[in-house]
Each structure stands twice: as C-alpha cells, then as structure tokens.
Amino acid sequence: MTIRVFLADDQALVRSGFRMLIEAEDDLDVVGRRPTAPLPSAR
C-alpha cells in the first residue's frame, strides 16, 4: 500500500527537502506541493 502525501509549506527549500526524503521511501508518494495549505478535507 502506498501512502499519498501532499506537501504544504511557505518555504520552497523545505518542500523540496521533504519531497526528496518522502520519495526515497518505496511506500510514500508525493501527490502535490503548494506554498500555502488549502483547508483540510476528507476524501
């Protein structure tokens, strides 16, 4: 099972670093990035 992650942080360097760490894991996948967080919603 793959865990999908959406990254939201106002600093591009932080988003990039977290993306690299997350994508290095086989069971994690970054599905989106954004400088500001949208309101949380259930899917």
- pLDDT (tens digit per residue) in 1-43: 999 999 988 899 999 999 999 999 999 999 999 887 666 666 6
Q: What is the pLDDT of residue 15?
A: 92
> What is the model's pTM?
0.72
Q: Are strands 3-8 and 28-34 parallel, antiparallel or unpaired?
A: parallel
User: Strand ranges (DSSP E) for 1-43?
Assistant: 3-8, 28-34
CB neighbour class for 33 (10 Å; exposed up to 12, middle 13-18, buried from 19): middle
d(CA 30, CA 16): 11
Q: What is the pLDDT of residue 31?
A: 95
d(CA 20, CA 22): 6
d(CA 23, CA 37): 20
